Structure 1
Amino acid sequence: MWLFNQLRRLFASDQSSSLLLLLFTILALVIANSGLGGEYHAFWHVHWLDLSLEEWVNDGLMAIFFLLIGLELKRELYVGELSNLNDALLPTVAAIGGMLTPALIFWTFNHGTEYQSGIGIPMATDIAFAIGVLSVLGSRVPVALKVFLVAFAVIDDLGAAIVIAVFYTSSISLAYLLAALAVIACLLLLNRWQVRFMVPYILGGVMVWWLTLQSGVHPTVAGVALAFTIPFSSEDQDSLSHKLEHALYLPVAFLILPIFAFANTGLAIDMRSLQDMFSHSNSIGIIAGLLIGKPVGIALAAWLAVKAGLCKLPSSLRWGHIIGAGILGGIGFTMSIFITNLAYVGEEEIIHISKMAILAGSLFSGVIGWWWLKIVLPPKTLTT
């Protein structure tokens, strides 16, 4: 019983999922820079059912991650911090600023070049890592700061999903897309008819994923769409949406995201690649977008919204806290890597440099964000 309780406490910890993600990233880097590097890359290019293992991870498993994001977003919209317009405005405005400013910085460095399609790379925030860093500071962190960070990060992910759907779709098969929309419409009817069995929604979700994959729209978008067809009740913790969200949390945090990190961060690092990273307009745009654009965009947008009277800063928060959350917002990692793969399909060299820039920008953001909050947070717990 003691062991079970310890394991449950371990898996419930935000730090644990973040540390596991970091561990698999380091493991991938070590293997890729060892004598097993060739075998590592060859393994992920093994094909099964017309897709490589890497594609199964990025197109298949990550659709489940987006399903969880969609379920979390729906819960926040119905009963969470985004359900009340006044409460939702601050993180929403902050998230918009935190997406547009990094994009503008990247565009400044890469407008008119062959790398401008990477504009979406520095726009997103990695919730797992950002919350993990915040949790290291323990009870010193105001609850309102955690809520603010989670809220704008969830909106960030929704923005990333929209960017993927709109800007990273090269060609569309209208027949497959209409078929996917028809299945979604059927699932919405099942919801309206109060069908409370999980099986038809899961089977329908698999169909939507496959049809979306064939349509040319990235299939992870199907995960978000599926989330909004599943029955939700603000008064019933046993609703299908609640059950599925709880069921997916551990597999996503402790299996899917580590596998994604392991499959996508095996970068061969040498002096030439490091020199390229710090001299390439693409990587400079990514690092500057994450490290400067994120905190500036988040804090400035929030400050302007408060000064304009659109919303209020929670009483337990100070602007130093918002700046710290903005710095942690520069931890792009999962979503930034994901968008990189879509922005530069088949361009291995630029993908390599971009991922190195993402790792560097995310690492700097995490360390600086932790240091900043360690200074500005009071030594005692804030309970409001």
Structure 2
Amino acid sequence: MSTTASPKHHSVLQRFLASDAAGGILLMAAAVAALIIANSPLASAYQHFLHWQTGPVLSDKLGPMTTHLWVNDGLMAVFFLLVGLEIKRELVDGRLSTWEQRRLPALPALLGMAFPAAIYVLLTAKQPLLMNGWAIPAATDIAFAMGVLALLGRHAPLSLKLLLVSVAIIDDMGAVAIIAVFYTASINAGALAAAAAIVVVLFALNKLRVMKLWPYLIGLALLWYVTLLSGVHATIAGVVGAFLIPYIPSPGTPDAPDSPLHRLEHALHPWVGFLIVPVFGFVNAGVSFAGLSPSAMWAPLPLGIAAGLFLGKQLGVFAGVMLAVRSGLAGKPRGSTWLQIYAVSMLCGIGFTMSLFISGLAFPGHPAYVEEAKIGILLGSLLSAIVACLILRFAPKAKDQLEHEGVQADEIRRDGDVVTM
């Protein structure tokens, strides 16, 4: 006999599946599964899966396309497309659409990238080959961080969830710029010229107010391919293409449903959150601890990354908030204490997805360094998550926290965003 879920339970399930936190929790599960498999009798099958040739040779430089390459160069381009769409919406008509809204998250985001990079450079300065990994601890994984916050419920005020999202958006912009500028190999001028021509065509379609999605999707696919051939990392095509998708702003309300950007963003969101990001985590998080000595944790590369994520992120983000508030540049997040702000600053040290991605770009041809980097990323992210959770769990709430919950809930849910409480 079939049963029907009650409306209450159905609503809770819908809210969970609509939230960024759900994707973060699924990412955690995928990462844990990869770690377990990589340290089990199935380890060889896992490695075979990663290096399984699943397609033609798209680029002489990359060689045969393996599962790992399809995920990192193909699926992650879709992830970056969604990142670009979200950044454009927030800059035009969202949480970062005015200078007043940008003031508070801007300084913490910038210092939150600079401090981890500085700590990494300080700890790896004696080994020049490692210097290329300076950007690895500079990133924040918003899905993972929101998943952790979701587990804490009302122990984290909504104003700080809004701050975390805003800092992460600027952080993503910085990460994209870093990848484009610092992790671009030798350039194929012909392919780059073709990419520029496609960008011009997409720009013209935007200006002509072409509202059908299919011309843009064809253009995005071609842009991804020629960018892959050009030497610029293919994921940059996703971000550039996103800014060329037409957007119809509607101030004060969710963006117009007939907006191409709205349609594409909402179509991609579940695929990215529930498939692409967890698959990326599963493919990239499998670190084998076989034969790993405790002293390996203290090697310069993993130590620099772990210290950058755990210490650099919390110090940079918290110092940025303090400077912005004390200088009068921005107001203190409503309904929060400084201890809660410090804990959320520490959550920014969860750098999982973007950090893993950058580590592969930083050390091409050096798989041993990539494996060491993964250890540092896992250690730094885990420490950041655990300590931040403990602080938020036991930190006293601000007296005015509940007064601002309703107002902040409306802000953080705009444009379809849901924060699980």
- Using the alignment, how far apart are the partners of 1:268 and 1:151 within structure 2? 35
1:270 counterpart residue number: 290
1:150 paired residue among 154, 165, 174 = 165
Mean Cα displacement is larger for which, 67-76 or 133-142? 133-142
The answer to whether the aligner puts 1:261 opposite 2:281 as a matched pair is yes
SS in 1 for 2:216: helix
Deviations 1:26-50 (A, max 9, x none): 1111211122211211121122122
2:417 counterpart residue number: none
Deviations 1:67-121 (A, max 9, x none): 1111111111112121111121110111000000000000101125210100000
The alignment's TM-score, normalised by the length of structure 2, stands at: 0.87
Percent of residue pairs identical: 42
1:2 counterpart residue number: 5
Deviations 1:115-174 (A, max 9, x none): 010000000000001111112222343221111100101111111111111111121112
The answer to whether the aligner puts 1:117 opposite 2:132 as a matched pair is yes
1:84 counterpart residue number: 98
- Using the alignment, how far apart are the partners of 1:212 and 1:291 within structure 2? 34
- Using the alignment, how far apart are the partners of 1:175 and 1:377 within structure 2? 60
SS in 1 for 2:219: helix
Mean Cα displacement is larger for which, 301-310 or 36-45? 301-310
- Using the alignment, how far apart are the partners of 1:267 and 1:258 within structure 2? 16
1:292 counterpart residue number: 311
**Are the counterparts in 2 of residues 141 and 377 from structure 1 also a CA contact under 8 Å?**
no
**Where do 1:305-384 residues align within 5 Å?**
305-378=324-397, 381=402, 382-383=404-405, 384=407
- Runs of 4+ aligned residues of structure 1 deviating over 4 Å after TM superposition are 3-7
- Using the alignment, how far apart are the partners of 1:317 and 1:19 within structure 2? 25
**Where do 1:144-223 residues align within 5 Å?**
144-223=159-238
Mean Cα displacement is larger for which, 201-210 or 307-316? 307-316
**Are the counterparts in 2 of residues 107 and 116 from structure 1 also a CA contact under 8 Å?**
yes
1:30 counterpart residue number: 36
Report the alpha carbon displacement of residue 247 of structure 1 after superposing the two structures with TM: 1.0
Mean Cα displacement is larger for which, 158-167 or 29-38? 29-38
1:239 counterpart residue number: 259
Distance 1:42 1:271, change over 3 A: closer
Mean Cα displacement is larger for which, 156-165 or 367-376? 367-376
Please tell me the residue identity of whatever aligns with 1:256.
I
Distance 1:151 1:377, change over 3 A: farther
Please tell me the residue identity of whatever aligns with 2:66.
S
**Are the counterparts in 1 of residues 25 and 148 from structure 2 also a CA contact under 8 Å?**
no
Deviations 1:346-372 (A, max 9, x none): 211111111011011101101111111
Report the alpha carbon displacement of residue 271 of structure 1 after superposing the two structures with TM: 4.9
- Using the alignment, how far apart are the partners of 2:48 and 2:66 within structure 1? 10
The number of aligned residues is 383
**Where do 1:132-151 residues align within 5 Å?**
132-151=147-166
Please tell me the residue identity of whatever aligns with 2:113.
M
- Using the alignment, how far apart are the partners of 2:362 and 2:321 within structure 1? 29
The answer to whether the aligner puts 1:11 opposite 2:26 as a matched pair is no
Mean Cα displacement is larger for which, 23-32 or 308-317? 308-317
Mean Cα displacement is larger for which, 139-148 or 65-74? 139-148
1:55 counterpart residue number: 69
Distance 1:14 1:274, change over 3 A: farther
- Using the alignment, how far apart are the partners of 1:343 and 1:180 within structure 2? 24
1:248 counterpart residue number: 268
Mean Cα displacement is larger for which, 122-131 or 346-355? 346-355
**Are the counterparts in 2 of residues 188 and 229 from structure 1 also a CA contact under 8 Å?**
yes
2:107 counterpart residue number: 93
Please tell me the residue identity of whatever aligns with 2:257.
Q
2:144 paired residue among 122, 129, 132 = 129
Deviations 1:297-348 (A, max 9, x none): 0111221222223222233233223211110000000000000001011211
Please tell me the residue identity of whatever aligns with 2:264.
L
**Are the counterparts in 1 of residues 156 and 340 from structure 2 also a CA contact under 8 Å?**
no
Mean Cα displacement is larger for which, 4-13 or 102-111? 4-13
The alignment's TM-score, normalised by the length of structure 1, stands at: 0.95
- Using the alignment, how far apart are the partners of 2:108 and 2:231 within structure 1? 32
- Using the alignment, how far apart are the partners of 2:74 and 2:317 within structure 1? 31
**Are the counterparts in 1 of residues 336 and 397 from structure 2 also a CA contact under 8 Å?**
no
Deviations 1:178-234 (A, max 9, x none): 211211111011011000000010110011111110000101011110110001011
- Using the alignment, how far apart are the partners of 1:209 and 1:106 within structure 2? 32
SS in 2 for 1:49: strand
**Are the counterparts in 2 of residues 126 and 334 from structure 1 also a CA contact under 8 Å?**
yes
- Using the alignment, how far apart are the partners of 1:290 and 1:227 within structure 2? 29
2:118 paired residue among 91, 97, 104 = 104
5+ long unaligned stretches in structure 1: none
5+ long unaligned stretches in structure 2: 58-64, 251-255, 408-421
Report the alpha carbon displacement of residue 7 of structure 1 after superposing the two structures with TM: 4.7
